[in-house]
Amino acid sequence: MPREIFDAIQAERRASLRSDFRAILPAPGKPLVLEIGCGNGHFLTAYASAHPEQLCVGIDLRLERTDKALRKRDRANLSNLHFLRCDARNFLLELPAGCVLSDIYILFPDPWPKKRHHKNRLIQADFLIELGARAGKGSRLFFRTDYKPYFDEVREIVAVHPEWRLLPDNTFPFEHLTIFQARAPVYHSLAACRTSSSAQSG
């Protein structure tokens, strides 16, 4: 795809995201629980139902998945839960100033096993900087995968990252089976905490 068409599509998607944010976010200041790559929304719907006082947003690149997730949300009649079709980096770029992420879940992200595709993996050092920029001090990141080489790579990245610290206890505060978790005979979990706050305000 020619660069100018790609840029135009991205600009349009980001404008649409800004309008979505205006519709779904209350006054800035309420922390968000974010799930990146939420798929059909099983985990976050259960989470939001169990935590009605928390504002939850799930994002996924694939429209058919966020549509299914929205139907699940509506059946459960949850007003504290939203699903948006968008890319994680665009989400972080367009999230209004003053909106701070609290807990962040990334469950079974695409593993991109071939070496030449590793650059497509979601969790990389620069992505953790972008995530950290929108996270408050003490925000937690929960990551789970059944692909051990990806898990080891992320663990190493987080272990030396200046803005995130591995937590000794990788127990998740909430559990609910996702589609990919149900298919995984074995999986690995990691919990990390934001070391200092650079969340934008204003």
Ligand X SMILES: C[S@@+](CC[C@H](N)C(=O)[O-])C[C@H]1O[C@@H](n2cnc3c(N)ncnc32)[C@H](O)[C@@H]1O
Give catalytic status of residue 67 as yes or no.
no
Closest residue to ligand X, judged by C-beta, is 37
Nearest distance from C-beta of residue 82 to ligand X, angstroms:
14
Taking CB under 6 A as the criterion, which residues in 69-108 touch ligand X? Answer: 87-88, 107-108
In our burial notation (b when 16+ CB lie closer than 10 A, e otherwise), range 103-133 reads: bbbbbbbebeeeeeeeeebbbeeebbeebbb
Of 90 and 139, which CB lies nearer to ligand X in the complex structure? Answer: 90
Sort 184 into a burial class: Cβ within 10 Å, 0-12 / 13-18 / 19+.
middle
Taking CB under 6 A as the criterion, which residues in 163-182 touch ligand X? Answer: 178-181
Among 11, 62, 138, 162, binds ligand X (CB under 6 A): 62
Question: Does position 17 bind ligand X by CB under 6 A?
Answer: no
Of 65 and 73, which CB lies nearer to ligand X in the complex structure? Answer: 65
Q: Which of 20, 67, 87, 110 is catalytic?
A: 110
**Which residues belong to the active site?**
110
Applying CB under 6 A, the residues found at the interface with ligand X are 36-39, 59-62, 65, 87-88, 107-110, 122, 178-181
